[in-house]
Amino acid sequence: MNPIGWREFESAPQASTATLAALRELAVSLLSDNMARASGIVGLQPYHQPRAMAGTAVTVRTRGGDNLAIHRAFDFCRPGDVLVIDGGGELTQALMGDIMSSYAESIGVQGLVIDGAIRDVGAIRQRDFPVYARGVTHRGPYKNGPGEINVPVTVGRMVVNPGDIIVGDEDGLLAISPEDVDGVIQAARKQGAKEAAALQSIVEGRFDRSWVRPHLDRMMNG
């Protein structure tokens, strides 16, 4: 990993409102299944009331426990963006709390994804504004820098590029390249219909499990 310096780049083009609306209607699990089940941000938890999240990534890379670059990154955020913060997974100092998350919501940010700690979770849990983080501590942040804005970051073991589309729900988080998003949406819709049919077959007592035994035999004898 390159050392953190002071770099700022313009925010990437935003996903369309139609694309974001379509993603909010699809479970992250369906989207993930159609990205080879190998993509996705791990290790972060939601600290808000349930609400589907989708938006264009504005990324921040900062020194663990320091939020000066995050304050600056708000100037790069537009309504419809998700602020994605690489804090190195550091949990000894919170990167933000109720005030900064409330401000983010007020300027139209669709959610916060923080590979680091937050605080004021009692207040954050009362709202449905999406806040995902690695952990919690009462200890507040420093404001010394350095930090970088709109550079590739690593959050929850997944690389997120500026302009990636970030989707989140109660199951977790996913980053989708804009070039792939239409195909992922179409495949996820087809799988959603298939899963709805399977659930209906359970209600009607005709759920097909005939594949289990042959599959098990192949695995044991292969």
| Whole-number average pLDDT of the chain | 95
Question: C-alpha distances in angstroms, 174 versus 41, 137, 138, 199, 204?
Answer: 6, 25, 28, 25, 34
pLDDT in tens, 139-178: 999 999 999 999 999 999 899 999 999 999 999 999 999 9
Residue 218 pLDDT > 60: yes
User: Which residues sit opposite 176 in a β-bridge?
Assistant: 165
> Per-residue confidence at 1, pLDDT binned at 50, 70, 90?
low
Superfamily for the 6-186 domain? Ribonuclease E inhibitor RraA/RraA-like (3.50.30.40)
Residue 33 pLDDT > 70: yes
pLDDT confidence of residue 217: 87
Domain ranges of the chain: 6-186
pLDDT confidence of residue 41: 87
C-alpha torsion sign, points 185, 187, 190, 191: negative
Residue 38 pLDDT > 90: no
Residue 118 pLDDT > 80: yes
pLDDT in tens, 15-26: 999 999 999 999
CA distance 37 to 30: 9
- How many other C-beta atoms can be found within 10 angstroms of the C-beta atom of residue 5? 11
Mean pLDDT calculated for residue range 193-202: 94
pLDDT in tens, 61-106: 999 999 999 999 999 999 999 999 999 999 999 999 999 999 999 9
pLDDT confidence of residue 2: 61
C-alpha torsion sign, points 110, 29, 175, 70: positive
> Per-residue confidence at 36, pLDDT binned at 50, 70, 90?
confident
Q: What is the percent of the chain with per-residue pLDDT over 70, rounded to a whole number?
A: 98
Mean pLDDT calculated for residue range 185-195: 96
Phi and psi (nearest 5°) for 7? -135, 145
Mean pLDDT calculated for residue range 117-132: 98
> Per-residue confidence at 40, pLDDT binned at 50, 70, 90?
confident
